[in-house]
Amino acid sequence: MQRIRLRYTKRGRLRFTSHRDFQRAFERALRRAGVPMAYSAGFTPHPKVSYANAAPTGTGSEAEYLEIALTEARDPDRLRDLLDESLPAGLDIVDAVEARTSGLSDRLTASVWELRLDGVDPADARRAAEAFGAAGTVEVQRRTKNGVRTFDARAAVASLECLETHGSPTDRPSDRPCAILRLVVRHVTPAVRPDDVLSGLRAVADLAPPVPAAVTRLAQGLFDEETGTVTDPLAPDREATATEPKTAATTAAATAPVLEGSA
The residue segments making up the domain with residue 193 are 109-230
In this structure, the answer to whether residues 91 and 201 fall within a common structural domain is no
Residue 141 makes CB contacts below 8 A (sequence gap 6+) with: 148, 149, 150, 199
Higher pLDDT, 52 or 176: 52
- 110-118 and 214-224: which strand pairing? antiparallel
- CATH classification of the domain holding 120: 3.30.70
Average pLDDT across the chain, whole number: 89
Question: Band of the pLDDT at 173, cuts 50, 70, 90?
Answer: low
In this structure, the answer to whether residues 66 and 174 fall within a common structural domain is no
- CATH classification of the domain holding 78: 3.30.70.580
Q: What pLDDT score does 80 carry?
A: 97
pLDDT digits (tens, 9 = 90+) for 86-106: 999 999 999 999 999 998 999
In this structure, the answer to whether residues 134 and 35 fall within a common structural domain is no
Mean pLDDT calculated for residue range 180-201: 96
Domains in the chain, number: 2
Within-domain flag for 188? yes
In this structure, the answer to whether residues 148 and 238 fall within a common structural domain is no
In this structure, the answer to whether residues 139 and 55 fall within a common structural domain is no
Within-domain flag for 125? yes
**In this structure, which amino acid lies at residue 118?**
D
Question: Band of the pLDDT at 165, cuts 50, 70, 90?
Answer: low
pLDDT digits (tens, 9 = 90+) for 76-86: 999 999 999 99
Within-domain flag for 75? yes
Instruction: Tell me what percent of the residues of the chain surpass a pLDDT of 90.
Output: 79
249 pLDDT exceeds 80?
Answer: no
Question: Band of the pLDDT at 56, cuts 50, 70, 90?
Answer: very high
pLDDT digits (tens, 9 = 90+) for 141-155: 998 888 888 999 999
In this structure, the answer to whether residues 139 and 167 fall within a common structural domain is yes
DSSP letter at 6 equals: E
In this structure, the answer to whether residues 218 and 113 fall within a common structural domain is yes
In this structure, the answer to whether residues 118 and 219 fall within a common structural domain is yes
Higher pLDDT, 144 or 193: 193
Q: Which alpha helices (DSSP H) does the chain contain, by range?
A: 19-32, 76-86, 122-134, 194-205, 235-243, 248-255
